[in-house]
Amino acid sequence: MDETWIYQFDPEPKSASMQRRPSSPPPKKAKVIQSSGKVMLSCFWDCDGIIMTDYMEKGKTVTGEYYSGWLKRLRSDIARRRRGKLRSGVLLLHDNAPAHRARQTVETAERCGFEILPHPPYSLDLAPSDFCLFPNLKKSIKGRRFEDITDAITAVEAWFQAQSDTFYSQGLLKAKDRWEKCVTQLSDYVEK
């Protein structure tokens, strides 16, 4: 599980559209900024794909109570979409955000039968969403200008649906490799 911001317009960086002409100066470019229209995507996924998404409006906050409600909803979605997986056990990997560490969240996860995997603070290198899912998603929508935030959400959901069967499982296999590297390096930073 992880969260990221989805913008109504997120421009490509200047470097992405650079033109290389050795004999002439580079063209002048206006600075383009992200739109203020944004929504926070919260995404639960496994090796078979997306289990559950939630979109929170700008200005709202994920609290322990709110996140606990997601975990309860997640349990019912797993029971419905991933038959038999609850019996074999659910490992939950999320970062150390305050809502994820809240006592109410931990108690709800235990009641749901989820085992929370430990996640060292400031370890982006261990969050599969940060090196697999979200960078690829953002690359696909970067530079596109959506009419409204609902169109941006529709594009995100379409991208999730368009991924191959192996995309999600390969992302989690990379996470396993990163965990092993982290353990062998005694929790030092893992670059690649």
Beta-carbon contacts of residue 175 (< 8 Å; ≥ 6 apart): 93, 126, 127, 128, 132
pTM: 0.79
- Cα first-last separation, the chain: 21
Beta-carbon contacts of residue 84 (< 8 Å; ≥ 6 apart): none
The half-sphere exposure of 169 on its side-chain side, counting CA atoms within 13 A, is 4
pLDDT one digit per residue (tens) for the chain, 192 residues: 889 999 988 776 655 555 555 666 666 555 555 557 899 999 999 999 999 999 998 888 999 999 999 999 999 999 999 988 898 889 998 888 899 999 999 999 999 999 998 876 666 567 778 888 999 999 999 888 999 999 999 999 999 999 998 999 998 888 777 777 776 765 555 555
